[in-house]
Amino acid sequence: MSIVLILVTIILPPLAVAMKHGIGTTFLINILLTLLGWLPGVIHAFYVNSRA
């Protein structure tokens, strides 16, 4: 992952997921997790972006 993507993942997790994977189910899951709490959204974004 690039430094820019890591910073975006920390600041705005759904944007980082959308940048890497587009608008889809992972994006919607990340929005839901981010709304439930910032940390679950960040963890999910790091997991999704490092997996692919």
**24 Cα distance to chain centroid:** 12
Extract the tokens encoding 31. Answer: 């929005």
State residue 18's pLDDT score.
Answer: 96
pTM of the model: 0.89
In three state form, how does the secondary structure of the chain look?
Answer: CCHHHHHHHHHCHHHHHHHHHCCCHHHHHHHHHHHHCHHHHHHHHHHHHHHC
Stretches in the chain below the pLDDT threshold 50: none
State residue 15's pLDDT score.
Answer: 96
State residue 52's pLDDT score.
Answer: 65
CA distance 2 to 25: 23
State residue 26's pLDDT score.
Answer: 95
State residue 51's pLDDT score.
Answer: 87
CA distance 45 to 20: 10
